[in-house]
Structures are given as C-alpha cells and as structure tokens.
Amino acid sequence: MPPRRIRAPARPVNIELDGRTIVADADASIASALVGAGELLLARSPKFHRPRGPSCMRGGCDGCLMRVDGVPNVMTCQCTPREGAVVEQQNVTLSAKVDLLRATDWFFSKGMNHHEMFAGIPGAQHVMLAFARRISGLGELPDAASPPRPEGVPTIETDVLVVGGGAAGLATAVALRGRGARVVLCDDRHALGGALLAFPRGARVAAADAQGAARGGSVGDVEVDALLARSLEEVERAGVDVRLEATVIGVLEGDDWLFVHPRDGLVRVRARAHVVATGGHDPTPLFEGNDLPGVMSARAAGRLLRDGVLCGERIVVDGDGPHARAFALAARAEGAEVEVLERASVHSVSGLSRVRSVTVHDESGRATRRHCDALVFDGPVAPTFELAVQAGAATRHERFGYVVLADERGRVLPDPNPRDARPSPALFAIGEVAGAALDPTAFAARADALSAAVLEVVGVES
C-alpha cells in the first residue's frame, strides 16, 4: 500500500504536482504533502536515473530534490508550500515512474566512468562523453533569473551565536539569555525543535537527571510535545533572536560566521562566542537496495507521522533507538502492521521503484523475506561535526562518526593541526555533535554549565 495521510492538514493549501492538485499543510513540508498523497517516488538520481524518495526529511540526502515554481533542486523536505505552488519531478524523461533513461542503470550496472570508457578509440570516447553529459545532471536551469539580492552582506552583531535549534541549542540559548548575553539562534529548518520534531505526537523521550546522566543512564521519560512547547515558550520569553531557514554555511574568520537565508541571501554574524549544537546525521543503512524509495530513517518516518502522514501499511523497523521505538508504537496505534526486527538484520531490500520486500538474516544466517511497503531504520547518529571543524575543533573518530571534542564545560578543544589560520577563539559544543545521546533533561543541565563558561569568556556580567 502507498503511504497515506492520516490527519487532515491544519492549514490546508493547494499545490500542483505535474498537473494534479494536492492538498498540503502550510505548516509542514512540501515533501510531507507529496508522501501523504501517495507519492514516494519523487525524482531520479542524476546519473543512473535510479528512483529517489525522501529518506531523511531533514535536508541530508538527495531523495526529495524537485523543481518548485520553476526553480530546480529544491529540498522539498525543508520548505513549506504556498497556495498554488507548482511542483515538478526532475531528472526524468517522461515521468519519474516511467523514465526512459532508467535503462542507464541496467546498461551500466557496474558503474559508468565516462572518462575511461572507449578511451583511446578515436571519436567513440567523444560520443560517450557527450552521451553521459546529456543524460546526467541535476534538473534544468531555472525558468527565470533570480531576483536581485540586497547589495552587500549585512552584519548582525551579538554576544553568542548558537547554531542548531534542537533540544541542546534551545536550552543553551535560554540559559545564555538568563545570564544576560545577547543570543542569535540559527536553524536551517522552518521550525525550531530539531530531532524532537522527529518524534510522533504523544511520544515520550528518555530523561536523565544530573545524577542519572552522570551514571550514563536514563531515569525516566518526558512527553516530547510538552517539553517542546515549554522550550519554545522559554525561548520567546527570553527574547532570543531566532533565525529560521538560516543555514550556517561557513566560518569567515574567527568571529565572523555566515548564514544563508532564502530571502535575505548571505548574512554575516559577528559574535564573541559560538556554540555548535548541530546534532547528528542519520546512520547510513548498509544493505543492498538502501536507496529505494520507502527506505527511510526512523526520524524521517517520525517527522512524517507528526505531519499526519503514515509511510506505509506494512512496515519493517530495523534498530532500537528512541525514534524507532516511538515510531513503531505510534504507527501501530494508527493501524499499521509493524514488525520490529529482533535478533535479525536486514540483508537486502527489493522493489522496482519502491520497497516491496525485505530479506532478513537471523542469527544463524537463515534468510527469510517479508513483504512490506517501508523499511524504517534507526541507530546511533553520526555527529554533524563539519561546521565545528571549519571553526578549528578537534575531533575523534568513533564507531559512528567524528565526535567534536570538548571539555567538561563544553569548550571545544582546538585542532592540533588547524587548517584555518584563525580558529574561533571561543568555541563550544553541546549535544549529539559532542557525542551525547539525545536526552533533553541532561542537555538542559549541561547548557547551564556551558553558559556559565561562555560568559566567563565573553565577559558579559551575569
């Protein structure tokens, strides 16, 4: 069964997908609306025209790139719809479902290296190169030139820039404001909440008190929606300068960081201290067919459920993280048939243009097949370390990725071999980017200690 909408949009707007009208929610993403209308196959990959669908719902994969209002390569999971928006599939010849060039994947099943193909054969290599260039690419050029951006790059001056509006970033921004610092909080999505927004409504998340956190264990749980509502209220009451859809893309020089905003373009933030609370990337599932539409992270499936969209009727869940548990519970409550794999692992996923079945191996290596519409995977996230490294942070490779190294108060340890001539002088990290498990209560306790340390560096009177 295709995915379906289980709750009517709170703020309905009409959008158009290849001539068909779809009712979307103005407060949720375009990708959610499309999946809710049964569309999992949103595009084709740039080179082999393999089917693509949303896998992360947070701007971390290429599964939802589409042409929106004549603009190619829009991450439809990251933007909200306007009334009358025109959405088109890209990289397709005919349609995403019946793409003539999907034959490319079959012809070149071992990969297409057009630089070497027919090398040395006069004329043939030239033809091959022209063919490969013709069928590859990310969509077509925009219908119209971009509207002129404001002249120059505006600068915002503040005491502290916090990057990331999840549980760790929100707690940090509030704690800093409570100590009198001016705070700019940037988040690349259209709403604050980060990984909390990847829990279905009504879900609960582990919570450790300070002692529990010190023991490395959880001592209870809290309701995500109540926690989120309280955090947002605190952020507003504290007067944090919140910038949504603001993607921090780089460190210019130690104090100056840049973000890009869809309307304002580039904006420079000059801060005396920086806190990286960028969370983590979804784990990469390692099995054949991991790029088929219908294979998605538990956080993506949870985001869809929060938006009122169920990703399938028969769902296999692989992994035992908090998002997988919360998703399985909520999806069952909505009537889906959900199997959570225990003592078995996914070997491969099959289907032509979306998931149709999953082959799993049990502990003895015996293979069995499950027919299903979706495979939802979960596991430890890989820290989103890239920005911190640009700013001169030291990292250590652990099993699931590079962890940003910080002392017990959150101050980042400097890279012993920095590539940047002038690393950020006051750099801090908190949350999953620094290797902690998602635990909002523990993050709040840590944010308090971190904000005191930040204030010692920037010298604002508490």
Q: Which residues bind ligand FES (CB under 6 A)?
A: 31, 54-57, 59-61, 63-64, 75, 77
In this structure, are residues 266 and 287 in contact, taking their beta carbons and an 8 Å threshold? no
Give the Å distances, CA to CA, from 348 to 269, 285, 351, 356. Answer: 46, 10, 10, 11
| Shortest CB 279 distance to ligand FES, Å | 15
Instruction: Report which of 272, 265, 273 is spatially closest to residue 246, judged by C-alpha positions.
Output: 265
Token couple for 110 = 């071992």
Q: At what angle do helices 440-458 and 167-178 cross, to 10 degrees?
A: 40
In this structure, are residues 66 and 89 in contact, taking their beta carbons and an 8 Å threshold? yes
Residue 30 or 406 with smaller CB distance to ligand FES = 30
Residue 81 or 435 with smaller CB distance to ligand FES = 81
In this structure, are residues 24 and 56 in contact, taking their beta carbons and an 8 Å threshold? no
| Shortest CB 347 distance to ligand FES, Å | 24
Residue 121 or 138 with smaller CB distance to ligand FES = 138
Compute the distance between CA of residue 7 and CA of residue 232 in angstroms, rounded to an integer. 24
Compute the distance between CA of residue 113 and CA of residue 128 in angstroms, rounded to an integer. 10
Spell out the long-range contacts of 112-118 with Cβ–Cβ below 8 A and sequence spacing 24 or more.
Answer: 112/47, 112/48
Closest chain position to ligand FES (CB): 77
Compute the distance between CA of residue 191 and CA of residue 196 in angstroms, rounded to an integer. 11
Residue 55 or 441 with smaller CB distance to ligand FES = 55
3-state SS class at 240 = coil
Residue 68 or 271 with smaller CB distance to ligand FES = 68
Which residues face 338 on adjacent strands?
A: 315
Instruction: Report which of 235, 253, 249 is spatially closest to residue 183, judged by C-alpha positions.
Output: 235
Residue 54 or 319 with smaller CB distance to ligand FES = 54
| Shortest CB 63 distance to ligand FES, Å | 5
Residue 59 or 202 with smaller CB distance to ligand FES = 59
| Shortest CB 177 distance to ligand FES, Å | 32
| Shortest CB 104 distance to ligand FES, Å | 23
In this structure, are residues 108 and 45 in contact, taking their beta carbons and an 8 Å threshold? no
DSSP H/E element including 231: helix 224-238
Mode of pairing for the β-strands spanning 86-88 and 382-383: unpaired
Q: Where are the beta strands (DSSP E) in 196-331?
A: 204-206, 221-223, 241-243, 247-253, 256-261, 265-276, 280-281, 295-297, 309-310, 314-318
Q: What angle do CA 116, 118, 123 make, to 5 degrees?
A: 120
Instruction: Report which of 95, 46, 33, 43 is spatially closest to residue 67, judged by C-alpha positions.
Output: 43
| Shortest CB 59 distance to ligand FES, Å | 5
Residue 299 or 411 with smaller CB distance to ligand FES = 299
Instruction: Report which of 326, 277, 332 is spatially closest to residue 297, judged by C-alpha positions.
Output: 326
| Shortest CB 379 distance to ligand FES, Å | 17
Residue 64 or 430 with smaller CB distance to ligand FES = 64
| Shortest CB 77 distance to ligand FES, Å | 3
| Shortest CB 428 distance to ligand FES, Å | 28
| Shortest CB 55 distance to ligand FES, Å | 5
Q: Judge residue 352's burial from the number of C-beta atoms within 10 Å of its C-beta, 0-12 exposed, 13-18 middle, 19 or more buried.
A: exposed
Residue 35 or 248 with smaller CB distance to ligand FES = 35
Residue 51 or 60 with smaller CB distance to ligand FES = 60
* Residue keyed to tokens 């097949």: 369
| Shortest CB 229 distance to ligand FES, Å | 26
In this structure, are residues 157 and 181 in contact, taking their beta carbons and an 8 Å threshold? no
Residue 227 or 300 with smaller CB distance to ligand FES = 300
Token couple for 214 = 């010190």
